[in-house]
A and B are shown apart, each in its own frame.
Chain A
Amino acid sequence: MDNELNKDLTPEEEAVAAEEAAEETVENTQEAAAETEDEQEAAARSKVEAEIAARIEKRFSKYPDPSELSDFAVDKKQQTAFEEYKDEYESYSQLETSREKRKAILRLNSLYYNPEMSPVIVACEASKSNDAAQKTVDEMKKLRKTGKIVSGIFIAVFLALAVIFTVVKIVPNVSAGGGLSSLGFYAICLAVYVALSAYAAVEVKNLFASMGVTKAQKLLPTLENVPAKLESEEIAELADPCISCGEKPQTEGSDYCEDCHAKMLSTKIPFLGWLAGAGIIAASVVALVALFFTAAPAFYGLSAEVAAKEKRWDDALNYYSQMNSTVNEFSSYLEPDSFMADMLKVGKDIQVDTAVAYANAYGAIEAVQYANYYLTDSSIFETEEELAPYMEIYTRYYNTAGICSGYIKNEDADYEEYRDALMQALDDEGVDKSIIYYTLFNLASGESQDYSVQLDFLSKAEQSAEENGYDYLWLYGNDYASTLRKAGEYEKALEYYDRLTENNKNDMYSYLGKAKALVSLGRIDEAEALAAQLEKEQGENEFSISIEALVLRAKGEYDLVEELCTTAFEEYDTSAELHHQLALTYLLKGDYDSAYEHAYLADYNGIYWAQQGVSKAYSYEYLNSLFLSANLCVKEGTEQAQTAQNTITELEAYGEVQPEIVSKIINGEVTVEELLTKGAYDII
C-alpha cells in the first residue's frame, strides 16, 4: 500500500519518507523496550513487596495469640500491659498497607517486651510444662508472698506507732481541753502519717513484685517458643526513613536517623543567646527590687490620680503626701546617689499634680506658701506652666496687700480706720478689688458686725471677681455660705454649699454646713439622706456621724445622739464637731455640766485643728456654745460652776465677746429649746 502511494513521489521525497519511516520504527522499538523495562521494574517491585509482606507476616505469626495469655495476667499492671498488647494484635488484621503493618510490628514488639508482660508470658510457658518457666513462676510467687508479709509488717508497725501517738499525744490533749484547733492539727498529722505509711507499704510490696518481673525478663530469651526481640538491623528494615535526610532509617522513638538525631542534638546555643538570657534575668532582678520599693508609692499615686479625677482633692493631697513620704522613707535605706536611689524618685509631673491638689483643697495662696514645706521642688509654681494661674492669683494677692499696707498709716488702727484705709485702696489701680472686699469682710466678721454688713462685702467681692473673670469661690465661698446660713438665708446658702462640694467632693465642712441649713429649713429627711450619701461615697467619718447626730437631735432622739457620739469618740476623739453636737444635746437634756465639758473640748479641738492648718476646722459656733453652757452652769450652780466661771473670765480676758443670745437665755427671754430646735439662731 505504502509503495503504491509512493509511486508518484520524487527521489528527494522518497528519501525523506524513508527517513521518517526509519525514525518511526526506532521510536516504536524504544517504546516497546521502555514498556518492557517498566513491566520488569513493576514485577521486581511487587516481588520485593511480596517478600517484605511475607517477612512481616512471618514475623507477626511468631507473636502468641492474646487468648493464650489472657488467663495469666494476675495483677492490674500486667492486665494493663496485656490489654495494650491485645489491642495492637487484634488491630493488625485490619491493616492494609505494608507500611502500616511494618509500624504495627514495631509497636507489637515493643508491647510484647514490656517488662510487665514478661511474667504473663513466663506463666503461659509454665502451663505448657516448661520446667524452667515453672521454676521462675514459683520464685515469682514466693517473692510476691514475701512482699505481702513484709508490707503487712510495715503496716502493723506504722499502725502501732499511730496508736501510741494517739494515746500519748492526742488523748491527753483532748482530756486537758486542748481545743479544737490543736485536735484538728493532730488529726491532720495523723491522716498524713497514715497516708504516707500506706504508700510506703504498697511500695514495699511492689518492690518484691518487681524483683519477680526482673527474673521473668531474664528468662524470656531462653524460652524456645518466645519470638526473639527485634535486632537493630531488623528494626532498621521495618522503620521509615529519616524525615531530615530521607535516606537512613529512623531510630527507635525518633523521626530522625541516628546521624541526623545526633547532629540535631549537638546544635549549639549561640553566645548571644546566653548573653541575652543572663542579661534579661539580671535586668528583671533589678526591676523586681525597684518594683518592691515603688509598689507602695505607686499605689498611693494611682489612688491620688483617681481621687483627683473625682475631685476628691483632700484625698488626692493625702495620697500624694503619703506617696512622697514613702519614697523619702525608702530612700533613707538606700545608699545616696546609688543606682537604686536614682530609681526611687518622684517625678516633676507628680510635684505639679500635688501642687494642683493643694491649690484645689486649700486655695492658691496656701498652695504657693506651703510649697516649701510639702514639695521637693519649692520653685515649681514659678517654673511650671500648668501652675501659672495659681501663681498669678498669688502675685495679685500680694500686690494688693502691698498697696493696701501703704494706705494704713497707723499700725494700732481700730476697725473703722482699717476699713476706711481699705476703702481708699479700692480706687488704686493695680489692686484686686475682690481681695480687698474679702479682707473687709474678715474685719467685719472679727468685729462681729451685723451680717448684712458682712454679706455686703462678700457680695461685692463676688461681683468684682465676676467682672474680672476670676473664679474666687475658693477664697470667699465657704465664708459666704456660712454667713448666709447664720443670717438665715438658708436657700441661698445651700446654693453656695452645692457649688463648693461640686468643686471639692472632700469639702466636709461644706457638707456639714449644708446639713445644718437643711435642718434649719426643716428638711430633716434631706439632711439624713446627705449623711447616708456621704457614708456611702466616702465611708463613715466624723462628719457623716456629726450630720447623723444633728439629724437625731433635730428629731428629739437625745439618747441616741449620746450613744452615737460616745461610740464615735472611740475613733474620732479629737473631732470638734462631734463634741459640739453632744454639747448641744446635753444642753437640751438639761445636763449643763456635761454640755460644758463637751463644749470646752469642741472649742479646744477646733483651735487645735485650725493651728494644724485646717482653717475651716474652727467655728465661732463652738465658742458661743461654750459661753452658753458655762453661763448655764454658773446660773444653776452645778458642780462645774466654778470651773465654768474661770473659763468665762479667761475667754473674756482674751478679748472674746459673749453673743447677745446668751444673755437672752440667761435672762429667760429665749429658751434653750427655742434656740436649738427652731433654727432661728446661729449656734445650732
Chain B
Amino acid sequence: MTVLYIISKYLTFPGAFLRAFWEHLTCKLFGIPVEDPAYLRANEMCGHIDHALAKKGFAAYTVAILPGLMNFFTGLPLVLTGIINLAIMGVSASDSLAMFIVYIAMTYVGASLMCSLFPDIETVMNLRDVVFTQKKSNIPSRIVAVIPTLIMYAGAYLEKFCVPFILWAAAAIMIFVF
C-alpha cells in the first residue's frame, strides 16, 4: 500500500509538494520544530514533513487543517476553471492550443492539490489527543473542532489508501472520456 501511496503522491507531485510547503510554513508560524524538512520522499511521509507534535490545542488544530485548506482554496478555482472550460465550454486543441494546454495544466495541478488535503495520521491523532483527550482548548473550540477533526481523521486514512487519487482519476475519465 505504501508503494501505491508513494506512486500516487509522485503522480500528483504539485499537490504533495505544496501541502508539505504549507505544513512547513505553519510549523514555522507556530514555532514547531521540524525534524526533516524533505517535501517529497519515497516513504509514507511523502507530501508531509516530519515535525514535532504540537502541544497546544490551537497549534495542533491549525497544523492539521491549514495546509489542506490552503491546497483546497488554491486548488478548487484551478480545477473548476480547467474542467469548466474543457468539458463545458468545449475548448479543444483545435480552438487554441495554448489555452488548451493552460486548461489541461490547471485541471492537473488543481486535481493534484485536491489529492493532498489531509494531514498524516500521526498529526491528526495528536490533534485528537491534545484537543479532546487532554482538553487543552475551551469547550466552544472543541465543539467547533469536532466535525473538521472527524473529516480530517477520515481523510487521513482515505489518503493513506490513495482513495482521493483514485476518485479524481475516475472523475477525470468520466468527464473527459464519456
Contacts and interface: CB of A to CB of B under 8 A. Distances in A.
A255 B32 CA distance: 11
Contacts of B25: 269, 273, 277
B89 A348 contact: no
B145 interface: no
A291 B77 contact: yes
Contacts of A342: 96, 98-99
Contacts of A276: 14, 17-18, 21
A125 interface: no
Of B33, B78, B95, most A-chain CB atoms within 10 Å: B33
Interface string B75-115: 11110111011001111101110110010001001100100
Contacts of A353: 90
Contact of A347 (B17, B37, B92): B92
Contacts of A261: 33
Interface in A268-288: 268-270, 273, 276-277, 280-281, 283-285, 287-288
A345 B88 contact: no
A470 to B, nearest CB: 29
A254 B35 CA distance: 13
B81 A280 contact: no
A81 B163 CA distance: 46
Nearest to A264: B33
A32 interface: no
Contacts of B157: none
B14 A283 contact: no
A350 interface: yes
A347 B89 CA distance: 6
Contacts of A212: none
Given A253-B55, A276-B14, A291 B89 contact: no
Q: Which secondary structure dominates where chain A touches chain B? A: helix
A295 B75 CA distance: 16
A395 to B, nearest CB: 24
For the side of the interface on A, what is the size category? 35 or more
B33 A256 contact: yes
A345 B18 contact: no
Contact of B85 (A265, A288, A343, A348): A343
B22 interface: yes
Interface in A297-322: 297-298, 301-302, 305
Contacts, number: 118
Contact of B99 (A285, A294, A343): A343
B70 to A, nearest CB: 8
A199 B37 CA distance: 44
B52 A256 contact: yes
A496 B33 CA distance: 78
A267 interface: yes
Contacts of A244: 35
B103 to A, nearest CB: 9
Nearest to B85: A294
B41 interface: no
B81 A290 contact: yes
A351 B55 CA distance: 59
Interface in B7-57: 14, 17-18, 20-22, 24-25, 28, 31, 33-35, 37, 39, 52-53, 55
Contacts of A269: 21, 24-25, 28, 37
A675 interface: no
Interface string B136-169: 0000000000000000000000000000000000
Given A280-B74, A283-B106, A290-B81, A302 B88 contact: yes
Given A284-B73, A291-B80, A265 B109 contact: no
Nearest to A288: B77
A450 interface: no
Interface string A440-458: 0000000000000000000
B94 A348 contact: yes
Given A265-B31, A269-B24, A280 B18 contact: yes
A145 to B, nearest CB: 29
A284 B96 contact: no
Nearest to B39: A273
Contacts of B95: 345, 347-348
A349 B90 contact: yes
A273 B25 CA distance: 9
B113 A265 contact: no
A283 B99 CA distance: 14
Interface in A316-355: 342-343, 345-351, 353
A351 B39 CA distance: 45
Of A280, A283, A290, A345, most B-chain CB atoms within 10 Å: A280
Contacts of A287: 77-78, 80-82, 106, 110
Contact of A345 (B35, B80, B99, B113): B99
Interface string A345-388: 11111110100000000000000000000000000000000000
B106 to A, nearest CB: 6
B81 A301 contact: no
Of A277, A281, A295, most B-chain CB atoms within 10 Å: A277
A260 B51 CA distance: 12
Contacts of A351: 90
Nearest to A352: B90
A273 B33 contact: no
Contact of A349 (B22, B35, B92): B92
B122 to A, nearest CB: 13
Contacts of A350: 89-90
A280 B105 CA distance: 12
Nearest to A350: B90
Contacts of A297: 89
A346 B88 CA distance: 9
A343 B98 CA distance: 10
B84 A294 contact: yes
A269 B78 CA distance: 25
Given A269-B28, A287-B78, A294-B84, A277 B92 contact: no
Interface string A245-267: 00000000111100011001101
Of A281, A342, A347, A353, most B-chain CB atoms within 10 Å: A347
B113 A294 contact: no
A353 B75 CA distance: 30
A280 B102 CA distance: 14
Contacts of A288: 77, 81
Contact of B74 (A268, A281, A349): A281
Given A265-B34, A347-B92, 14 more contacts: A256-B52, A265-B33, A270-B39, A276-B17, A277-B22, A280-B113, A283-B74, A287-B78, A288-B81, A298-B88, A302-B88, A342-B98, A348-B90, A351-B90
Nearest first, the 6 A-B pairs at minimum CB distance are A349-B90, A347-B90, A264-B33, A350-B90, A287-B77, A347-B91
24 contacts: A254-B33, A255-B53, A256-B33, A261-B33, A264-B33, A269-B21, A270-B37, A273-B24, A273-B25, A277-B21, A280-B113, A283-B74, A284-B78, A288-B77, A290-B85, A291-B80, A298-B84, A301-B90, A345-B95, A345-B99, A347-B91, A349-B90, A349-B92, A350-B89
